[in-house]
Structure 1
């Protein structure tokens, strides 16, 4: 059969991001890295061919799974802008040589880490309390009591964490399975890790919004000054247009630099809400729950990013409105100038018509005068042959000559101005 070129890709997509089955006790170490496009090939080469005796069981361009040197299971997942590397070590010891070697190799991979966690899974609450009681200072289970977050998630499973970065650069979390096992435990821990990863990726938009916020303040101040200048007649339109164009370019530069990050923050925030709803945190008296911890600072940060995006759009729209007003002002001024020019042309045409009529009148007088003089000379020459009064004849003929001259000039002008009449 003729397969679509994307069929296997979309089918394989449904099988990606699968973890090995988790069973307490176990340590799960995960890193989330932002990887640039230029680094993708080097990252793929590192994961698709494991060094030092590692084994790859499944390898796609977006997912690799297998075992590292020392027998530790791992998964690598590629996201749109980040990559997630996860190592699974049996037992509750976070300082084994095999795990240390695996983390050292992961530290050499390309990309900038945005989240790194050590998650220790134990069988029940009693084992968790014992592990925390015997935790050495600065160890992965040495939590700060004032920042402790603890609650039940996904049913009976309980978590403890202070959500702080330890001296080793990793966040720490303790999980008591409390009867969850196999696939249920695996899915719950995976959702818990995805919640933290998407939360950090969403919060990447907050520093961007804070850094760009003063630029919007400056743009609004410039818009206020330009708005005042628009009402003044002594400010040149060319100067206003140049300033508005420069300001619009500055606003567009802010949008170009921040739109992707703000859109990503909004998308990641929806995923955080979904994962939090799937985990369904249940509070425990005396402790801050995972839901409260997430809602307390995460939602204000997301809303700050949303407010920044809305404000950037409003500033851009306001700049567009000012540009439209300036164009309307320029067009109105041009129309007024055209109207004044047309009125001047009309007055000039009226004066030319009057002058033309005056010239025609003078022409009638001049032509009639010369015609009468010529006829008078003729009559005076014939006066000796025929007895009549030449002066009287000239006097009688003068009105007729003037009328004939006027009618002739009028007809000639009509033939020149009316093409149909001349045809």
Structure 2
């Protein structure tokens, strides 16, 4: 007999199907490691779903140009090194970001003589599907010079434009830009590395890339807000005039007013449909910009505006403009609804007054008809009685001719009041029956009207 213990079978844990994806999401867009010097070109391209698929096929062409096996599946973030060129493609909700990093830099060249896109095949960059929103070059250089020596040289790299600069990360680097487009149609950023490691430099470059990308994405809603403003002002004045007329009890054409309110409501809802997503996106992008600016930890350099100071001063009013227009649209929609309710109430009261007049007129007509009915009723009793007496006379003649002996004149005289009384009683009974039915119907109508009034209240 075998007394060995049987192995205990342990049940395996049940994992959520998205568990691995949730872990990988935190690592889907890792920071890059960027040595200095380096040349970076970054693009953010607006695209829909079809254009995003076309962009992936377009990216495969680039891999084939470099004789490298292209990726088989599109992903949130793709990053590959093709010799001296690093390519990074990130998919976002409404745009795709491309980052090209060129490490093959000629000695002694100026920061923007060679760009990150210099190693790309001719025409490939220009034929990316979609609409380019953000496009700028970022140059990374080593420098140990003082700011006084550095600034005059930096101005030449930015075509003499007014500089915006700072000393982030406790002075370990210098960041210079103008936040404007230059002669090549691209923006420019310049990082002078003093004491930062390649990993720190990669994080700094990534923050600058995201600040510039999200800054422009934030501002996309501003022209839309400016377009809506004048139209909202005109509708606001019209609505105020209508409200004033209703408040002053001025006689108005209810149908015309309701048509105007419906037209304004349609325009407001059209603007809301066009702007709601854009204004919500603006708020989200602005929050990301502010967060990245905090992470820069900037200090001032030689009296120049820092990137944080410049963007806070220029970007925040634009965001508040979009927010104000969005709130104004919401307020306008509610006000139009309230005025429409007032007009509907006014129309309902007018209709009720007309109904009361109509019911009073019908009541007068009913009384007249009742009087006429009583008159006709008396004539009807006489007519019916006349024909009924004629029938009784025929019956008496027939009975007398058959041998029955009686006084026909006396019998006919007795029959006349009996016939008239019987006809009158029958007519009154029918009349009372119909009056009872009419009263029941009237009571039912009154009960239904009370129920409707309670429901409205």
TM range (shorter): 0.7 to 0.9
Partner of 2:445: none
Q: Match of 1:252?
A: 269
Q: Give the match for residue 447 of structure 2.
A: none
Helix, strand or coil for the counterpart of 2:183? coil
Query: 1:88 maps to which residue?
Result: 101
- Provide the TM-score with structure 1 as the length reference: 0.79
Equivalent of 1:299, from 316, 319, 343? 316
Please give the alpha-carbon distance, in whole angstroms, between the structure 2 residues aligned to 1:252 and 1:416: 56
**In 2, distance between residues paired with 1:364 and 1:319?**
65
Q: Helix, strand or coil for the counterpart of 2:182?
A: coil
Q: Distance in 2 between matches of 1:367 and 1:60?
A: 100
CA–CA distance in structure 1, aligned partners of residues 239 and 69 of structure 2 = 59
Q: Tell me the alpha carbon deviations over residues 378-407 of structure 1, each in whole angstroms, 9 at most, x when there is no partner.
A: xxxxxxxxxxxx9xxx9xxx9999999876
Correspondence 1:6-25 to 2 at 5 A: 9-25=21-37
2:60, 2:70 within 8 Å by CA — same for their partners in 1?
no
Q: CA deviation at 1:344?
A: 1.9
Q: Give 1:6-405 correspondences, 5 Å limit.
A: 9-49=21-61, 50-53=63-66, 55=68, 60-68=74-82, 71-90=84-103, 93-96=111-114, 99-102=117-120, 104=122, 105-126=124-145, 133-134=152-153, 137=156, 139=157, 141-144=158-161, 147-156=162-171, 157-227=173-243, 232-233=250-251, 235-237=253-255, 239-284=256-301, 286-359=303-376
Structure 2 distance, partners of 1:415, 1:317, is 55
Q: Relative to structure 1, is the Cα distance of residues 103 and 236 closer, same or farther in structure 2, using a 3 angstrom cutoff?
A: same
Q: Please, which moves more after superposition, 84-93 or 160-169?
A: 84-93
Contact 2:65 2:121 in 1 (8 A): no
Question: Gaps spanning 5+ residues in structure 1: where?
Answer: 373-389
How many residue pairs match? The answer is 401
Task: Provide the aligned C-alpha RMSD in A.
Answer: 4.1
1:293-319 deviation digits (Å, cap 9, x = unpaired): 011110000000001111111222222
Structure-2 change in CA distance of 1:108 and 1:136 (3 Å): farther
Give the unaligned 5+ runs of structure 2. 1-11, 390-409, 438-457
The Cα offsets for residues 204-261 of structure 1, whole Å up to 9 and x where unpaired, read as 1111111222222232244345446655435252x33333222222222222222221
Q: Following TM superposition, by how much is the alpha carbon of 1:414 offset from its aligned partner in structure 2, in angstroms? A: 3.6
Shift of 1:265: 0.8
